[in-house]
Each structure stands twice: as C-alpha cells, then as structure tokens.
Amino acid sequence: MPICSSSSRFVHDRRSGSNTPAECRERSSKCVTIGLINNMADGALDATERQFISLLDSVSDDIQIRLSFHALPNVPRSELGTNHIKNFYSSVESLWDKSLDGLIVTGREPLASNLKDEPYWDSFTEVLEWAKENTYSTIWSCLAAHAALLHIDGIDRVRSNDKFCGIFECARLSDHPLTTDAPSRFNLPHSRWNGIPEDALTSCGYSILTRAADAGVDTFVGRHKSLFVFFQGHPEYESNTLLLEYRRDVGRYLRGETNIYPLMPRSYFDHRTVIALKALQNEATSRPRVDLLADVSAALGKSKIENTWYSTAVCIYRNWLEYICAQKQLRLKDRSLSCQRPRNLVWPHQRLSF
C-alpha cells in the first residue's frame, strides 16, 4: 500500500509509482497514522527521512500508512536546515490535537554531557509524556532512547572507552511478538559511545528482547498505556550510512576538530577496503592533513558493502505495525460495542499484552 503524507514531498507508492496519496480511513485498523520526529543534524535530515520511508514502505503490504513529519524546537540548525524544517515539517505542538497511532523519535549527536542540558530537553519530555497516553506504540531510537530512560526512570547512560560502531551480531533472548519470525541470531548496525546497563533496565521492569555480546542490550520494551520500544542500534540504516559517518569523523580528525582518529566500523567493509583505510589511518595519524580526506573518500568509493541486517529490520518493523493495527482494531471494536451495549452493563476492556 502507498505511504501518504501531509507533504507531497514524501508521498511514495512502491508498486505504482504514483504521487497521489490515497484516502486513509480513520475507522480502519489497516490504516495507521505514524509520526516521525526527526532530530538528526542538518546533513542527515534527508537520509533519515529516506531510511524510514523506505523501511515503512517495505513492511506496509496491506497496511496503508499516513506519515507526518515533526521537529522539536530549539534544535540547533543552520539556515539551510531551518528552512528545510520550516518547509516540510510541522512543530511538535501540532501533535497535541493530532491523532497518531504510532510515533518514531530519532536521536542526534549530543551537545551536552548531561542530556537534561540539551536545548530541546523540555520539549522532548513534553512529547514523551504525550506519547504515553496518545499512541499505541512509540519507537525511541538511540539517543532518544537514552533521553527517554533518563526522564522516565532516572537511568543514566554509561560512556564506553571505545565507540560501538559497526555491524554487531545480536541474539534474540525470548519469544516476543516484536521479534516473531526473526532469526535467533542476526546483525544490526550500532553507532554510539554510550550504553544502558542491562541490570538497570531489568530492575525497572523493562523486557530485554535482543542483546549483542560486544555491545550490550540492543532492543528492549517498556509498558505504559503505549508500548515503548527502544533501539540502541539502527535497524533503519541504509548500506552506506556507517560509511558516511566514518568519512565525516575522519574529516573532523583531519581538520583538527578532534584528536581521536575514528574506529573503523567493525564487520562492515570488505577486506581490500580495510587494508586501504588502515594505510591511510597510519599516514593520517603520523602527519594529519586535510587533503588526505580525498584519498579516504576514494577508498570508500571502491568499497563493497553487504546489507546483512535488512531482512531483520523488515521483520521487526512489520511486527511493530501489526501490533499497532491489532491495538487499533481492539479500540475500534470497543467503541462499537460501547455504542451498542446498555448503559448499566460493564464490559471488560480487552488489550493485547506485550
């Protein structure tokens, strides 16, 4: 089914190629409204939009998705980024009067060591409290997951000595509707310095769904009125996303913006590219100069990257949409019954348990 949006820029139908959004029926459980709060830096706005549109489109099948784009205020942006948000996004304040079935909130590189000091913290927590009561489920991605946990339970993230960057093998820990049909072991991209201790999560009642042996907890859920789904990894990443992040970080080192040469993403590049990048790293750390970035870019341009996580990402997001549809169907059924039943008769309120 086509994904349609309030902005014609984002309309997409993978089967017909049509740019005409179909009507989305509010009373149908197979038509869901998803909001995306895109907090990514200016240079990643387009890519993040494309990643989530493509992933949702791939899993929609018989489900029609109405997608809306929103932005937090006070996120630092360039003039170009500000204009992009102004032209194609709605403010989060528009959510208060909006009916959403699901919500996806992205992270971004932090500016402050304490997330509560981020300039958008107040608006972020306002969205979180709204999402608890007004969505069937919300996905919190990477830094957004860390910020949500800090607000809800006071759980602090812990910084690692090395960045978790690359493709990590994850294990499915238990049978859960969100991981139905997922393999017992699968790959997912990670790109973060910080992580959440597993014991802190379990002590607060979170259910751990997947774990990477070398990167810790990967996916976990918490139950409010809305099902909160937390990803420390990035199932939505495209094949070249880690490549672009690596090139960005190498550029920062060569320009003297950081004194740490970035780790090469693990289990990601082909062998020939790894050898070429290691040679360039040795040259850069012995004598940093900006013109080496062209050589790094050339080596990256010849790389061969296999997307080994796509099928798992499709499985998890399809299960997420199915959950939302099931919850919406129960709500619609409940409303229908409430219109038919005698006023003095008490009916049980049925919900799926996650």
Structural domain range at position 107: 3-238+307-337
The reply, when asked if residue 191 is annotated as ligand binding, is: yes
Q: Which residue has the tokens 């341009």?
A: 301
Q: Is 236 a catalytic residue?
A: yes
Q: Given this model, what pLDDT does residue 26 score?
A: 57
Considering the candidates 234, 238, 315, 325, report the single residue annotated as catalytic. Answer: 234
* Total tally of structural domains belonging to the chain: 2
Q: Given this model, what pLDDT does residue 25 score?
A: 53
> What are the two backbone dihedrals, phi and then psi, of residue 194, each rounded to the nearest 5 degrees?
-110, 155
Considering the candidates 70, 118, 190, 236, report the single residue annotated as catalytic. Answer: 236
Q: Is the domain of 145 the same as that of 275?
A: no
Q: Given this model, what pLDDT does residue 338 score?
A: 61
Q: Is the domain of 148 the same as that of 259?
A: no
Q: Is the domain of 64 the same as that of 129?
A: yes
- Give the count of alpha carbons within 13 A of 287, CB side only: 3
Q: Given this model, what pLDDT does residue 228 score?
A: 98
Tell me the C-alpha distance between 97 and 308, whole Å: 40
Q: Is 283 a catalytic residue?
A: no
Q: Is the domain of 117 the same as that of 251?
A: no
Dihedral (C-alpha) 269, 56, 208, 186: value to the nearest 10 degrees? Answer: -40
Q: Is the domain of 109 the same as that of 225?
A: yes
Q: Is the domain of 178 the same as that of 193?
A: yes
Q: Is the domain of 22 the same as that of 156?
A: yes
Q: Given this model, what pLDDT does residue 10 score?
A: 56
Q: Is the domain of 269 the same as that of 153?
A: no
Q: Is the domain of 58 the same as that of 175?
A: yes
Considering the candidates 4, 31, 142, 315, report the single residue annotated as catalytic. Answer: 142
Tell me the C-alpha distance between 221 and 140, whole Å: 10
Q: Is 190 a catalytic residue?
A: no
User: How many other C-beta atoms are found inside a 10 Å radius of the C-beta of residue 158?
Assistant: 13
Query: Is 352 within a domain?
Result: no
The reply, when asked if residue 116 is annotated as ligand binding, is: no
Q: Given this model, what pLDDT does residue 164 score?
A: 96
Q: Which amino acid makes up residue 138?
A: T
Cβ pair 279, 295 in contact under 8 A = no
As given in the structure block, the two tokens for residue 190 are 């990670």
Regions in the chain scoring below 70 on pLDDT: 1-2, 6-27, 335-354
Q: Given this model, what pLDDT does residue 332 score?
A: 85
